[in-house]
């Protein structure tokens, strides 16, 4: 009887295809199946990476509960699989956590294949040493819930990481300026690794003015508040 397969968690490029690691490519080309978020997007990415998957499955927030059993059956049959997201490191603000939870409960070996991460890339260009930070991720879509969560975050005295979709970039800058004040220091990393990459530094008010109506993939880092003078 064949042994149980392994599940590889593989980071893929966040923009520039050259950021894919040799180990990631080797693994993607040798596993028996690949799990992606959406078949269309996954196929497009793998084609650009010159990877022809033996089998491609999709697991996302809409079908994760039902699809996980199919993936586990393949692993139980001795087949090795890889989990990828549309870009970057899987699970972190992407689907896949439930699959990994079930796989761990089932005694399946999980192997991380590290690589591109927009979060780590943004942290690496800060003009201070981020010894601690709070990852707030994506805010709720509801306006009142967003406002409530931002008000709760105001009590945190370490850098705060926020993300959202490109079309909410301006909205988030407006909301954070209102909640934390336009004078709050921040770093905004847009389109990391692409030709259009831009790192904005300054106060939220300054960054908002400089960004204008721009839409981009982004990570917003609110710096820790400066100690008040007594």
Q: What is the pLDDT of residue 1?
A: 38
Judge whether 86 and 38 are in contact, CB under 8 Å: yes
Contacts of 204 (CB under 8 A, 6+ apart): 173, 176, 177, 180, 181, 182, 183, 184, 186, 222
Domains of the chain: 7-113 (3.40.1010.10), 118-222 (3.30.950.10)
Percent of the chain with pLDDT over 90: 84
Percent of the chain with pLDDT over 70: 97
Strand arrangement, sheet containing 160-164: 134-138, 160-164, 218-222, 185-190, 198-203
Tens of pLDDT, residue by residue over 77-126, are 999 999 999 889 988 767 788 899 999 999 999 999 999 999 999 999 99
The mean predicted confidence, pLDDT, of the chain is: 93
Tens of pLDDT, residue by residue over 176-230, are 999 999 999 999 999 999 999 999 999 999 999 999 999 999 999 999 998 766 5
* pTM summary value: 0.88
Beta carbons within 10 angstroms of residue 89's beta carbon: 24
């Amino acid at each position: 009887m064949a042994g149980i397969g392994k599940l590889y968690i593989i980071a893929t490029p966040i923009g520039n295809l050259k950021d894919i690691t040799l180990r990631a490519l080797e693994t993607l080309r040798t596993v028996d199946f690949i799990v992606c978020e959406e078949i269309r997007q996954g196929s497009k990415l793998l084609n650009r990476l010159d990877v022809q998957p033996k089998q491609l499955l999709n697991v996302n927030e809409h079908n994760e509960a039902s699809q996980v059993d199919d993936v586990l059956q393949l692993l139980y049959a001795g087949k090795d699989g890889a989990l990828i997201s549309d870009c970057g490191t899987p699970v972190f603000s992407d689907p896949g956590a439930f699959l990994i939870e079930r796989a761990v409960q089932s005694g399946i070996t999980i192997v991380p294949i590290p690589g591109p991460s927009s979060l780590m890339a943004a942290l690496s260009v800060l003009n201070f040493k981020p010894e601690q930070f709070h990852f707030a991720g994506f805010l709720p879509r509801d306006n009142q819930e967003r406002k409530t969560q931002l008000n709760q975050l105001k009590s945190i005295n370490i850098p705060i990481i926020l993300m959202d979709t490109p079309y909410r970039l301006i909205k988030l800058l407006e909301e954070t300026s209102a909640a934390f004040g336009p004078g709050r220091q921040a770093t905004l990393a847009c389109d990391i690794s692409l030709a259009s990459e831009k790192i904005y530094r300054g106060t939220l008010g300054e960054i908002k003015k400089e960004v204008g109506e721009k839409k981009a993939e982004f990570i917003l880092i609110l710096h820790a508040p400066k100690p008040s003078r007594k």
